[in-house]
């Protein structure tokens, strides 16, 4: 198994480190346009391998030759969001970056599954799919796992319970119109709507929607990378080990949930072939309307792309 991570910034480097620690590949390749950065970080990671007792080769490169025949390609490249910057502000700058990354990577790894992490996430997944000219099963956006993890964390804090017992679903686009689903979010199988009053649920939903910018506002000059990298690796692990986990991921919808030709987060079965099934859960009218609005926001952004 060979995995390439494009972008050696905080998200990319932390993702590569987690991949190595979990021994999810025989070789991890870190690619970046900045000379010396991927090489230095890759060497540093590899030098930790005797201590951690992991036999994974880590390679850094400024070109795509080293990534040839990768099984999975993770795209994290792009500029980070700054305070006061919306996800849409990032769009056209990151569009050019992601388009180049996807087309360059697929040229030497035509059978790879692509996981897109760059923001604005759903739009960048669309850009990658079109640039790489791949079927929708092999281009998946990382969003819902991260958003659900944030929701789960906040629920655990609110109820003072273990995060292990908390499950949550967040659908829709990765942005202000994401759709956390309290009815499908549980603690030891008990819906949080039975454990918290509506005011508390609404507060947690809002904090989940604002989860990314909350961290940006603290950091001032950067954005989240520990949780995004963990969420990405959870998706990679399900694919590599053919675990067939049901995870909320951004995928290209063609009629599912009544949505057409757009990317949005929905429950997905992830296995060796990438996106193996879209799970269609029953939504009430309010949830369906919120999901449709979120998807419409993504579609509108796609329409503004300078492709």
User: Other CB atoms closer than 10 Å to residue 2's CB: what's the count?
Assistant: 20
User: Other CB atoms closer than 10 Å to residue 282's CB: what's the count?
Assistant: 8
- Residue-wise DSSP of 3-50: EEEE--SHHHHHHHHHHHHTT--SEEEEE-SSTTHHHHHHHHHHHTHH
Decide if 5 contacts 76 (C-beta within 8 A). Answer: yes
Residue that the structure tokens 């007792």 belong to: 53
SS3 assignment, position 230: helix
CA neighbor of 73 nearest in space, from 126, 9, 132, 14: 132
Which residues does residue 278 pair with via DSSP β-bridges, in sequence order?
268
Cα–Cα dist 114/102, whole Å: 8
174 counts as catalytic: yes
Decide if 59 contacts 42 (C-beta within 8 A). Answer: yes
Catalytic-labelled residue, pool 41, 81, 87, 174: 174
Cα–Cα dist 60/13, whole Å: 10
For helices 10-21 and 37-47, give the axis angle rounded to 10 degrees. Answer: 30
Q: Which residues are catalytic?
A: 174
């Amino acid at each position: 198994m060979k995995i390439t991570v494009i972008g050696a910034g905080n998200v990319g480097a932390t993702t590569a480190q987690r991949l190595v620690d979990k021994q999810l590949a025989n070789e991890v390749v870190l690619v970046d346009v900045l000379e010396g950065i991927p090489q230095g970080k890759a060497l540093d990671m590899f030098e930790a391998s005797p201590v951690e007792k992991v036999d994974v080769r880590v390679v850094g490169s400024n070109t795509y030759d080293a990534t040839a025949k990768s099984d999975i390609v993770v795209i994290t490249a792009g500029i980070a969001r700054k305070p006061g910057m919306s996800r849409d502000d990032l769009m056209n700058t990151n569009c050019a970056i992601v388009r180049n990354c996807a087309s360059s990577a697929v040229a030497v790894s035509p059978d790879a599954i692509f996981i897109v992490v760059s923001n604005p996430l759903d739009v960048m997944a669309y850009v990658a799919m079109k640039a790489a000219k791949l079927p929708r099963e092999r281009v998946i956006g990382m969003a819902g796992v991260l958003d659900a993890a944030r929701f789960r964390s906040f629920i655990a804090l609110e109820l003072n319970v273990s995060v292990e017992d908390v499950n949550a679903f967040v659908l829709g686009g990765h942005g202000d119109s994401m759709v956390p689903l309290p009815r499908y979010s549980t603690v030891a199988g008990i819906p949080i709507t039975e454990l918290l009053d509506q005011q508390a649920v609404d507060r947690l939903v809002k904090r989940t929607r604002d989860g990314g910018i909350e961290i940006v506002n603290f950091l001032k000059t950067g954005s989240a990378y520990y949780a995004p990298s963990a969420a990405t690796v959870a998706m990679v692990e399900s694919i590599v080990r053919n675990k067939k986990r049901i995870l909320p991921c951004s995928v290209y919808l063609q009629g599912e949930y009544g949505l057409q030709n757009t990317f949005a987060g929905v429950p997905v079965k992830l296995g060796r072939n990438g996106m193996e099934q879209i799970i269609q859960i029953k939504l009430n009218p309010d949830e369906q309307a919120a999901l449709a609005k979120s998807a419409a926001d993504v579609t509108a952004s796609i329409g503004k792309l300078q492709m």
